[in-house]
Amino acid sequence: MNRSGIRRSRFRAGALAASALVSVAVLTGCGGSGDGDFAVDASVSPSAAQTSAAASAVKPLTAAQLDKLSLAASDLKGFDVRKPAAYERFTKDDLRTGEADCAPVSQVMWGVALGDPAATAQRRVDSGLDDTAIDAAESAEELDAAFTVTSTTVSLASYDNEDQAKTALKSLRSSIAACDGGFQSSAGGTQDVGKVSTATAPDAGDEAVAFTATVSGDGGLLGPTKAVIFRRGSILAQFSTVNSAAVVSGDAWDFPTVLVETQETKLG
């Protein structure tokens, strides 16, 4: 085997090994408007009161309904979409977070819905290796680019009303600010989060938040977890993404915003 072939084999083995590690620990900024308090006018018109009562009477979506709104393989090109395996699914009870204020950030990283949702649904979305690009690579840079593989946990959560969803998202904003210096978290494995920073959230839903958490995990692997959360009415959509190749190389990579765009379209 020539040197190019050996290099491809090593890169492929390294990326796949890293992908196996992050699949166990996969969690798989801020944007949008703030949370305001609304005063109730005693002279509110009957029509407005009826509208408010009707809105409060709307039942939250069930798990089955959320499941139908979740991403599917037919929605995306170049991605594998599936329901997560049992070892990839976590609950609040599974999480251990060193700092109480950091629990919301930790939940998003591990794919656990914020707050107290009425129902949830989840998908695991992995970008596939491009064998054609790997074989055609003529430089280390092209080979690195060909091994850019992202793994994303996408969680949908419905709440009893919009206020609950807003409160859950507000708690995440506070957590990001409080935990910028890092913390320790564990569920499927232990993660030492060295830094949490806000990121620019895509224009999605009624409001959106994004952050990046720099992680040092088992075996000294380094790499960021990138997360986006947006609210559409009383539903929160959470995306937590890692990149297996970047865990090995430390190279920069882009969050797969197409997942957010596609999910927003499905939510309507």
- Which neighbouring-strand residues pair with 126? 80, 151
Please report which confidence band the pLDDT of residue 146 belongs to, taking 50, 70 and 90 as the band edges.
low
Name the more confident of 263 and 219. Answer: 263
Least confident of 44-58, 95-109, 142-156: 44-58
Query: Does 56 score more than 80 pLDDT?
Result: no
For residues 192 and 28, what is the distance between their CA atoms, to the nearest angstrom? 16
Q: Where are the domains of the chain?
A: 3-30+60-267
Q: How does DSSP assign 5-19, residue by residue?
A: HHHHHHHHHHHHHHH
Handedness of CA 30, 185, 25, 115 (dihedral sign): negative
Residue 234 near residue 159 (C-beta atoms within 8 A): yes
Handedness of CA 93, 97, 101, 107 (dihedral sign): negative
3-state secondary structure of 158: strand
Average pLDDT over residues 177-206: 90
What does pTM read for this prediction? 0.74
**Ramachandran angles phi, psi of 77, nearest 5°:** -105, 140
Structure tokens at 181: 């210096």
For residues 58 and 55, what is the distance between their CA atoms, to the nearest angstrom? 5
For residues 168 and 171, what is the distance between their CA atoms, to the nearest angstrom? 5
pLDDT at 28: 39
Of 9, 29, 61, 36, residue with least CA distance to 204: 29
Query: Does 124 score more than 60 pLDDT?
Result: yes
Average pLDDT over residues 198-219: 88
**Element housing 195 (H / E):** strand 190-198
For residues 123 and 143, what is the distance between their CA atoms, to the nearest angstrom? 29
The CATH homologous superfamily to which domain 3-30+60-267 belongs is PknH-like extracellular domain (3.40.1000.70)
Least confident of 123-132, 141-150, 169-178: 141-150
According to the per-residue pLDDT averaged within each range, which of 78-92, 154-168, 222-236, 241-255 is highest?
154-168
For residues 187 and 12, what is the distance between their CA atoms, to the nearest angstrom? 28
pLDDT at 131: 67
Q: Among residues of the chain, what percentage have pLDDT more than 90?
A: 52
Cite the DSSP H helix spans in the chain: 3-25, 46-57, 63-69, 103-109, 131-136, 140-146, 162-178, 244-249, 257-267
pLDDT at 187: 84
- End-to-end Cα, the chain, rounded Å: 52
**Measured torsion, CA atoms of residues 48, 231, 66, 77, in degrees rounded to the nearest 10:** 140
Name the more confident of 213 and 19. Answer: 213
215-261 pLDDT, tens digit each: 875 555 567 899 999 999 999 999 999 987 776 666 778 899 999 99
Average pLDDT over residues 25-29: 39
Burial pattern 88-114, b for ≥16 Cβ within 10 A else e, equals bbbeeeebebebeebbbbbbbbbbbbb
Average pLDDT over residues 118-132: 87
